[in-house]
Structure 1
Amino acid sequence: MTDPTSEEPADWPTGRLLFTLVRRIEHEWNDHLAGWELNHAGFPVLLHLFKGPRTQRELAELSGVTEQTMSKVVARLERSGYVTRSTDPRDRRRRAVAVTEAGRRAAAEAGQRQPAEDLTVRGLDDDQAQAFRELLVTMVQAGRPDATPPAR
């Protein structure tokens, strides 16, 4: 039986375990990204921009945040020299956000696979890490709006 008030993680509900793990990884990932003046909010925005310029609205939708939040993220990236904003040629009322060469380099360096893997699978052997990854992929795919519900 689970006990959310217990001090022992083995007694916690799955949600508390997941929340605790995610927060730890987020803090450690932010510490890693700080070397490039990035954080967990700005880093994926740079990756979205690798495919070409996007509006702040598009970036907000892709990131699952409000446009107001994305405006702050983009402003921070712009101050770091990682993105530029210009008039969107598709709609002159909107601003297009594009990644700079400095932003591409920072994302490529910060996003090397090994540091992220080390943060997320600490304490697991190779088989456990692979099984954990497969479970995460399944859960991410199941949470997509176009996902087909799993068979029972």
Structure 2
Amino acid sequence: MPITDDEGLDRLLSAETIAVIGCSRAPGKAAHDVPAYLQRHGYRIVPVNPFADEILGEPAFDALADVEDEIDLVDVFRPSEEVPSVIDEVRERHAARGDAAAVWLQLGISHDEAAAAAEADGIDVVQDRCLKVEHGRLRG
């Protein structure tokens, strides 16, 4: 079952490095403003966007597999229909490297089958919640 309780959500907020799938260069878009907020609150943001070289002063990567540094949490700003392929990338990375042990699907994004597959591999999943909102509520 996806994480919904405050204790579980707060545990995931202990991440240090967050890969943001679909991170945007455009201020005013949630996919830019949420990672910017997290960066201001001390998180290291690793943008994953094949159409950008740099976002928020950090180098952007074409895919999660291209990120060499350890990832604690994968924050997803992609449509729900793309979640299975994103989860597959996370599962492959987790199996190969042991990191990326949590996936956070932003507000309005969910996919129960993909979430269940991730959880079967020992990956924590949050669906349909805003990381910025939960951070502000639990740690603000």
Same structural fold, with TM-score higher than 0.5 when normalized by the shorter chain: no
If asked which structure has higher relative contact order (CA below 8 Å, sep 6+), I would say 2
Which structure has greater strand proportion?
2
TM-score (norm 1): 0.28
TM-score (norm 2): 0.30
